[in-house]
Amino acid sequence: MYLKKLVFWMMVALLMMFTTAAFANSIIVNGDLEDLSPAFWYQHELGGTLSWDWTEAQHGSKSLKIDKPNTGGSATWMSADNANLYWNNFQGVFYSLSAWIKTDGVNTNPGNDDERIAVTFTFLDAGGNDIVPPVAMYADQSAGTMDWHEVTGDVLLTEEPAQVIIYLGMGEDATGTAWFDNVNVSSDPWTAGIFDNSMEEPNGWMSWASEGDVGFAEQVYDDDAYSGDYVAKLMEEDDLGDEMVFYSQPAPVAGYAWYLVSVMVRYDDVNTNDMYYPTYQVPENVQDRANLCFFYHTGNWWSDWALTGGDQFLYFDQRTETSDGWTMYWTISQAPPEATAFSMRARLNPTATGTVYYDNFSCVKLDKGDNLVENWNLETHSPFFFNPDELDGDLLWTNAEAHTGNLSAMVSKDGAGVASWLSDNQATTYWNNMDAVLYDLSAWMKTDGVNTDPGSEDEMIGVYFHFLDGGGGDIVPPVFLPADQSAATLDWNEVSDQVLLTEAPVECYIELVMNNGATGTIYFDDVNFGSDPWTAGSFGGDFETPTGWMHWASEGDVGMADVAWVGDLAYSGVYVAKLVEEDDLGDEMVFYSVPTPVQPDTYYLFQTMARTVDIGPLDNSLWPSSVMSENISDRANLCYFFHSGDIENGWNLTGGDQFVYLQQREATQSWTAYRGIAMAPADATGASLRARFNPTVTGEVWYDNLQIFEMTELFTGVEDSPFAVGQGPSTLPSGVVLSQNYPNPFNAQSSISFNIPAPGDVQLEIYDLLGRRIARLVDEHMAAGTHQVAINADELGMTASGVYFYRLNTQNGAMVRKMTFIK
Ligand SMILES: [Ca+2]
Ligand SMILES: [Ca+2]
Ligand SMILES: [Ca+2]
Ligand SMILES: [Ca+2]
C-alpha cells in the first residue's frame, strides 16, 4: 500500500489543455455567428443594393434595407416559404397581414406598380400557382421621406396553401431608400407566423424571450468574440421568472449516432451558488441556471416541430459570477432511434441573471469504435498479473480465505505432479524499475492438510522468486520462500528472505508452487518484494483485482475497492467493481484499468455504469458533473487519464486528471450511465480509467461496464465520403472562393457562384447526405474570375428534402459547402 501511495503522490494534477480545435464538420449552420445575413430572408432581385441594416428598426434593432439610386430593374427581398415551416400550418382561413416601412428620398406619387414600394404576400398551391391573387401592401409615397408607418391587408384563403412567400420590394422604376421591418400575419385561431418577422436573427438562428422580458438574446458585435467578430449575447437583469433562448435551426442527424456537442461560453455578473458546478447533460430545468440546451427532433424536421428525448441541459459553472475567459462546454450524446434532427440553444432559465456570451456552437457526428478496455465488464474472473502455470492440481482464485482483503490464490493437490501460479514479468512493469540492490522478499501462506516434514524440496510448498538477465539466464539462483510444513494445518503466517542482485534484472517472476511430492491445500496472499530506497513492488500480489485492473487505497483506509460478486444485481454478468467507504477521514480509493494504447489528437469516450447505495454527502445541486480537472474532495467519480511514453514499462501521465462526478443528489440510484469525452493530447500514447472515491466521500458505489471508445469525427454518414479535403472553409489560400448558394434553403431553384484565380479545369458536383453524387453541374476548362451556376432541383432529380453538399474541385484545391433543399 505504502509503495503504491508514493506513486500516486507523484501523479501531479495538471490543468487539462483541451484542444479548442475548430470543429470543421459541425452540422450547425453559422455556428460561429459570422455569417451576416438574416435568417429566413434572401436577396431575390438585385436591381439595387440589399443589406441587413443594424441602424434602423421599427422593432428590435435591425431591419432589411434596399438602396436603389436608379430606375431599371427591381430590387426585392424574398422570405423563406413559411407555409409549413416548423410549427407553421397555414390553413384555408382568413388572415390579417401587416408590415412596417420607412423611406428616405424615394420617388413620390407613383403611377403604377413599377414605381411602388411594396410588401407582397403570395399564397401558392403545390404546383406553384397562386391560390388567390398576391396581396400587395404599398408604402406611403405621398412624400419622399416618411418615418416608420404600418401597411396592412387581409386575405381569405379558400384552400390550404402549399407555399407562403413574402416579397419586400422596390419596383423597377422606383428610386430611393426603403427599410422593412415587423412583417406579420395573424389568424384566429392561430395557425402560423412569419419566421424572423422582425429581421433580428442571423442565418441559421432563432430567438425567443418570455413576454415582458427586459433582457434580450441576440447576435451582437463583440470585441472579445471567441471567433471572428460576432457572438450570441443573452442578458437578463431581473429574476422575474422570464426566460430567454437563442436557438439554432434544426440540422439533420441519424438515429443511434453519436454527436459531440460543444459551445464556447464566457459570462459576467451571473447569479452564483457554491454548489453550481458545471454539469453533465441533465434533464431537469433548474430555474436559476444559465446553460447550453439541446434537443432532438423527430419526423419531418423542416415542416414539423416534434421533439424527442426531452430537453438536455449543460449547466455552466456558476460558482463564480464571472467566467475565466472563454470556456468550452461539451458533451457526447447519442441520438434517440427516432431522431431526425438536432438543435441547440443558448438559454437563461427563468430566474437566472447576468450576461452570457456564446460562440462556436458545434455538433459533430462521431463514429464509435471498439471498446479498448480489457475485461471491461469485469466478468473475466482471474487474478491480475498471475496465471495458472503447472496444472497437476486445482488452482483457484478464491474468497474462501484471505490474509488481507477478500481474495487469495489457492493450490490444492492430492497426487504427484506440480501445480503452480506464475506471475507476469514484474521487473519494469509500469512504475517498477528493479535495480542491482538488496530486495526484501515476503509472502503469506495458510495451509490445510498438507504433507508435513518434507524430506526434500520435491515435497515442499512455497514461493520462488526468479531474477533474469536480458538473455533469460538467472542473475542469482531462484530464491525459495518455503511454507511452514511443521504441521499439516497452519493459519496465515509470513515467510521472508532477502536477495542481493548483482545486476538490474530484465525479468522478474514470482511462482507459487506445490512441488511434485507435496499434497494438501495452500492459500497464498500478499506476495511482495521491495527495496530501500524504493525501486519496485509486486503487481497483483494481494490477489484483489481481476485481469486488466488494479486498485489502490490510502493507508489506514477502512473502506475498500475491489471486484465483487453480486449476482443478478450486476449491470452485466455477475461481477462489479465495488467501492465502499464508511468514514470521511480523508482517505481515498481507486479501482483502475491498465493503460490501453490510444492515438494522439483523437477523441475518446470514457464511460461507466454506476449504482449508488447510501452515498454521501448529499446536496440537491450535486448533479452529475461535466468533465472537470478539479479534484473535489467529497465526490465519487469516474476519473480518467492519458498516458505518454512507454505504457507497459512506464507510468507517465499527460493532460491531468479528468473527473466526471456522479450525482450526489440522492443517496441511492439505480444503474446509470456516466460519460466524458476528451481529445487525447499530442503526446498521448495510452489512456486508463478509474472508479474513484475522492477523500471524504462515504457510502458505496458499484461500477460496471467501464469502457473507452475511440471516436472518429465524421463529415457525413459514410466513412468513404467524397469530402476528404477542404471541408468547412469557404476560401482557400489560393483565392478560390465558393459562395453559399442563393437562396438557401431553396425550394426548386437556387444558384451557386464561385471564383477561381486562374484559368483551369473545374468540376462542381452535388452530393446527398450519404455521399452519393447527385449531379455534376460543371466539368470544363474555365476562365479566371467569378462564375454562377443555376440549380433546378426538379431537373437534377433532387427528390428528398434535406441537406445536400456541393463540392468545387479546382487545380488549386477542393472545397465543400452545405445547402438545404425544402420540397
Ligand atoms: Ca427588427
Ligand atoms: Ca463568432
Ligand atoms: Ca488478498
Ligand atoms: Ca459485470
pLDDT for the residue 213: 63
The average pLDDT across 360-368 equals 91
Q: Tell me how far the alpha carbon of residue 229 lies from the centroid of ligand 2, in angstroms.
A: 6
pLDDT for the residue 701: 97
Max CA pair span of the chain: 127
Per DSSP (E only), the strands in 253-334 are 258-268, 290-298, 306-315, 327-334
The average pLDDT across 12-40 equals 64
Contacts of 799 (CB under 8 A, 6+ apart): 823
Residue 763: name the closest of 722, 792, 716 by CA: 722
pLDDT at 535 over 90: yes
Rounded mean pLDDT of the chain? Answer: 90
Q: Tell me how far the alpha carbon of residue 198 lies from the centroid of ligand 1, in angstroms.
A: 4
Between CA 472 and CA 505 the distance in angstroms is 10
pLDDT at 14 over 60: no
Q: Tell me how far the alpha carbon of residue 393 lies from the centroid of ligand 1, in angstroms.
A: 86
Amino acid at 687: A
Specify whether domain 737-821 bears CATH 2.60.260.20.
no
Using only C-alpha atoms, what is the Rg of the chain? Answer: 35
pLDDT for the residue 445: 98
Q: Tell me how far the alpha carbon of residue 544 lies from the centroid of ligand 3, in angstroms.
A: 5
Ligand nearest to the CA of 55: 1
Task: Categorize the per-residue pLDDT at 240 as very low, low, confident or very high, splitting at 50, 70 and 90.
Answer: confident
Neighbours of ion ligand 1 (CB under 5 A): 57, 59-60, 62, 181, 198-199
CA separation, residue 59 to residues 56, 182, 404 (Å): 9, 6, 75
- Per 3-state DSSP, the chain is made up of helix, strand and coil in percentages (nearest 5) of 5, 50, 50
Q: Tell me how far the alpha carbon of residue 421 lies from the centroid of ligand 4, in angstroms.
A: 25
3-class secondary structure per residue, 469-530: CCCCCECCCCEEEECCCCCCCEEEEEEEEEEECCCCCCEEEEEEEECCCCCEEEEEEEEEEE
Q: Tell me how far the alpha carbon of residue 182 lies from the centroid of ligand 1, in angstroms.
A: 6
Ligand nearest to the CA of 609: 4
Q: Tell me how far the alpha carbon of residue 406 lies from the centroid of ligand 4, in angstroms.
A: 18
CA 646, 652, 658 angle in degrees (round to 5)? 125
Q: Tell me how far the alpha carbon of residue 705 lies from the centroid of ligand 4, in angstroms.
A: 6
Please give the CATH architecture assigned to the domain spanning 555-714: Sandwich (2.60)
Reply yes or no: is the peptide bond before residue 454 cis, omega within 30 of 0: no
Q: Tell me how far the alpha carbon of residue 411 lies from the centroid of ligand 3, in angstroms.
A: 15
Ligand nearest to the CA of 62: 1
Q: Is the dihedral of CA 553, 557, 562, 568 positive or negative?
A: negative
Q: Tell me how far the alpha carbon of residue 367 lies from the centroid of ligand 2, in angstroms.
A: 27
Superfamily name with CATH number, domain 386-530: Galactose-binding domain-like (2.60.120.260)
Q: Tell me how far the alpha carbon of residue 453 lies from the centroid of ligand 4, in angstroms.
A: 44
pLDDT at 487 over 90: yes
DSSP 773-785: EEEEEEEEEE-SE
- Which grid coordinates belong to 535? 525501486
Of 320-329, 491-500, 657-666, 741-750, the least confident:
741-750
Between CA 501 and CA 529 the distance in angstroms is 13
Q: Is the dihedral of CA 307, 308, 311, 312 positive or negative?
A: negative
Residue 485: name the closest of 510, 517, 511 by CA: 517
Q: Tell me how far the alpha carbon of residue 420 lies from the centroid of ligand 4, in angstroms.
A: 28
pLDDT at 214 over 70: no
- Beta pairing class for 354-371 and 698-714: antiparallel
The average pLDDT across 604-629 equals 96
Same fold, 555-714 and 737-821: no
3-class secondary structure per residue, 398-463: ECCCCCCCCCEEEEEECCCCCEEEEECCCCCCCCCCCCCCEEEEEEEEEEECCCCCCCCHHHCEEE
Contacts of 163 (CB under 8 A, 6+ apart): 81, 83, 122, 123, 124, 125, 128, 747
DSSP 181-227: EEEEEE-SS-----TTTTS-SBTTEEEEE-TT-S-EEEEEE-TT-SS
pLDDT for the residue 756: 80
Ligand nearest to the CA of 375: 4
Between CA 807 and CA 773 the distance in angstroms is 10
Q: Which residue has the higher pLDDT, 301 or 351?
A: 351
Neighbours of ion ligand 3 (CB under 5 A): 402, 404-405, 407, 525, 542-543
Q: Which residue has the higher pLDDT, 203 or 425?
A: 425
Ligand nearest to the CA of 379: 4
Q: Tell me how far the alpha carbon of residue 230 lies from the centroid of ligand 2, in angstroms.
A: 4
578-600 pLDDT, tens digit per residue, is 999 988 888 889 999 999 999 99
Q: Tell me how far the alpha carbon of residue 538 lies from the centroid of ligand 3, in angstroms.
A: 13
- Which grid coordinates belong to 618? 448529499
Asked if residue 611 lies in contact with residue 672, where contact means CB atoms within 8 angstroms, the answer is yes
Amino acid at 313: F
Q: Tell me how far the alpha carbon of residue 201 lies from the centroid of ligand 1, in angstroms.
A: 9
Between CA 580 and CA 542 the distance in angstroms is 18
Q: Tell me how far the alpha carbon of residue 742 lies from the centroid of ligand 2, in angstroms.
A: 22
Per DSSP (E only), the strands in 349-385 are 354-371
Residue 130 DSSP symbol: B
3-class secondary structure per residue, 549-586: EEEEECCCCCCEEEEEECHHHCCCCCEEEEEEECCCCC
pLDDT at 358 over 50: yes
Task: Categorize the per-residue pLDDT at 804 as very low, low, confident or very high, splitting at 50, 70 and 90.
Answer: confident
Amino acid at 418: V
pLDDT for the residue 5: 37
pLDDT for the residue 365: 86
Q: Tell me how far the alpha carbon of residue 180 lies from the centroid of ligand 1, in angstroms.
A: 8
Q: Is the dihedral of CA 35, 773, 715, 311 positive or negative?
A: positive
DSSP H or E segment with residue 796: helix 793-796
**Domain-wise residue ranges, the chain:** 41-186, 214-366, 386-530, 555-714, 737-821
Between CA 746 and CA 89 the distance in angstroms is 19
432-455 pLDDT, tens digit per residue, is 999 999 999 999 999 999 999 999
Of 357-371, 387-401, 459-473, 792-806, the least confident:
792-806
pLDDT at 6 over 50: no
Ligand nearest to the CA of 227: 2
Ligand nearest to the CA of 544: 3
Q: Tell me how far the alpha carbon of residue 77 lies from the centroid of ligand 4, in angstroms.
A: 62
Q: Tell me how far the alpha carbon of residue 796 lies from the centroid of ligand 3, in angstroms.
A: 71
Please give the CATH architecture assigned to the domain spanning 214-366: Sandwich (2.60)
Per DSSP (E only), the strands in 229-301 are 230-236, 244-248, 251-252, 258-268, 290-298
The average pLDDT across 467-474 equals 96
- Which grid coordinates belong to 404? 488481507
Looking up cell 473502506, which residue turns up? 559
Alpha carbons within 13 A on the beta-carbon side of 290: 33
| C-beta neighbour count of 274 within 10 angstroms | 10
The average pLDDT across 729-753 equals 73
Q: Tell me how far the alpha carbon of residue 218 lies from the centroid of ligand 2, in angstroms.
A: 12
Q: Tell me how far the alpha carbon of residue 568 lies from the centroid of ligand 4, in angstroms.
A: 10
CATH number for the domain formed by residue range(s) 41-186: 2.60.120.260
Ligand nearest to the CA of 34: 2
Q: Tell me how far the alpha carbon of residue 384 lies from the centroid of ligand 3, in angstroms.
A: 12
Q: Is 567 left (phi over 0), alpha (psi -120 to 50) or beta?
A: left
Task: Categorize the per-residue pLDDT at 795 as very low, low, confident or very high, splitting at 50, 70 and 90.
Answer: confident
pLDDT at 514 over 90: yes
Ligand nearest to the CA of 179: 1
Between CA 225 and CA 221 the distance in angstroms is 8
